[in-house]
Amino acid sequence: MALPAEFSLLHSEFNAFLFASLLKEESGAPLSVLSALTRLGVDPWREGARLSRLPKDAAARALVALIARFPEEHRTSSDAREIADRLVEMLPKGSVAVPPANAERAGTRRRGWVRMWLFWLGLSLLLANLIAQALQHWK
């Protein structure tokens, strides 16, 4: 059984960028771009697609702003720019198609309605069966 889209590695052309080390955690472990963007509440694949469509300098400036949101005593603004420049080189070239968020939500909404109707249909059939059995039992 295939994983739902929200649990699969969509748009693998972003893997080099998303799994690259952004910063070091306090523990010394590397913090990936994927984890960093997720912590900031940003969809990593959409942000990667957005950045890949920007000119390199604009993408680097956007990454510097994201990097600045993480506390780091040993990092200066020039360090953030160096990190951003390195990460921009890992982005795929050109525009990358990412499905709009509304398309995913619409599919999920439709499945939700189907599940709800199936639940109510099943419950109705169960209740009808119970009533029929009770009526036969009382005769």
Residue 97 has pLDDT above 80, yes or no: no
The pLDDT, as a whole number, for residue 50 is: 92
- Residue 31 DSSP class: E
Q: How many CB atoms lie within 10 A of CB 39?
A: 11
Domain limits at 82? 12-88
- The percent of residues in the chain predicted with pLDDT above 70, rounded, is 74
The pLDDT, as a whole number, for residue 11 is: 44
Q: Look at residue 47 and tell me if it is in a domain.
A: yes
| Averaged pLDDT, 6-34 | 77
71 and 33 within one domain = yes
53 and 28 within one domain = yes
46 and 20 within one domain = yes
* Number of compact structural domains in the chain: 2
116 and 67 within one domain = no
105 and 46 within one domain = no
Q: Look at residue 82 and tell me if it is in a domain.
A: yes
Nearest CA-CA partner of 37 in 83, 69, 10: 69
Site of tokens 């639940």: 119
108 and 58 within one domain = no
Mark out the alpha helices in the chain (DSSP H runs).
15-18, 33-39, 44-53, 56-67, 77-88, 101-138
Residue 8 has pLDDT above 80, yes or no: no
Question: What b-and-e string marks burial along 55-64, b requiring 16 or more CB atoms within 10 Å of the CB?
Answer: eeeebbebbb
The pLDDT, as a whole number, for residue 56 is: 92
84 and 16 within one domain = yes
84 and 110 within one domain = no
Question: pLDDT of 62-80, one tens digit each?
Answer: 999 988 887 765 565 668 8
Mean pLDDT of the chain: 79
111 and 46 within one domain = no
Sorting pLDDT into bands at 50, 70 and 90, what band is 115?
confident
Q: Look at residue 55 and tell me if it is in a domain.
A: yes
Residue 131 has pLDDT above 80, yes or no: yes
The pLDDT, as a whole number, for residue 76 is: 59
Q: Look at residue 1 and tell me if it is in a domain.
A: no
The pLDDT, as a whole number, for residue 96 is: 52
**Secondary structure class of 30 (helix, strand, coil):** strand
Between the alpha carbon of residue 85 and those of residues 67, 89, 106, 138, 139, the distances in Å are 12, 7, 36, 80, 82
The pLDDT, as a whole number, for residue 119 is: 86
17 and 49 within one domain = yes
